């Protein structure tokens, strides 16, 4: 988004356009420690993007912004590269889709069963059932005589 303002001086109008373009986030501008930064929340996380290491006559330079915020950008590029590499193997994506579908079916079955428990729709404490299910699965996986 800042690329369209490359080389322009930072001002209130640019800040207002950024806020308008991202209505899902509460964005504020910080001028702490001699730096101009943007802060926003996404759920439980707060992010900070350093725009410049000065407070006056700030010219938007996206290359410098990427350098000043390596933890945000390098991580993103690494994740993108891993995602591309992962998707080159369709069997991995299918395995994940199959696991998600199996989970959805199992959750629906569990919800249907637990709906009858006292009308609450959910178990108050599922630990005994989970322990039982794990013991059953382990018993099936371990050959006889090797417990």
Q: pLDDT tens digit string along 51-78?
A: 888 888 888 898 888 888 887 787 777 8
Instruction: Give residue 121's pLDDT band: very low, low, confident or very high (50, 70, 90).
Output: very low
In the three-class reduction of DSSP (H, G, I as helix; E, B as strand; rest coil), residue 34 is classed as helix
Quickly list H helices, the chain.
12-21, 62-68, 70-87, 90-114, 127-141
- Contact (Cβ atoms closer than 8 angstroms) between residue 49 and residue 67: no
Show the tokens assigned to 22: 């991202």
Rounded Cα distance between 42 and 53, Å, is: 24
* pLDDT 10s digits, 86-102: 888 889 888 888 999 99
Beta bridge partners of 37: 30, 50
């Amino acid at each position: 988004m800042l690329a369209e303002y490359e080389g322009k001086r930072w001002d209130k109008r640019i800040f207002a356009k950024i806020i308008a373009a991202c209505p899902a986030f509460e964005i504020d501008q910080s001028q702490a420690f001699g730096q101009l930064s943007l802060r926003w929340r996404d759920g439980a996380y707060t992010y900070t993007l350093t725009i410049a290491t000065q407070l006056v006559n700030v010219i938007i330079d996206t290359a410098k912004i990427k350098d000043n915020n390596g933890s945000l950008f390098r991580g993103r590029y690494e994740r993108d590269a891993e995602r591309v590499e992962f998707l080159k193997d369709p069997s991995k994506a299918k395995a994940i889709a199959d696991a998600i579908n199996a989970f959805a079916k199992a959750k629906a079955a569990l919800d249907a069963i637990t709906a009858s428990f006292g009308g609450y729709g959910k178990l108050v404490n599922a630990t005994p059932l989970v322990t039982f299910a794990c013991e059953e699965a382990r018993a099936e996986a371990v050959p006889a005589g090797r417990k």
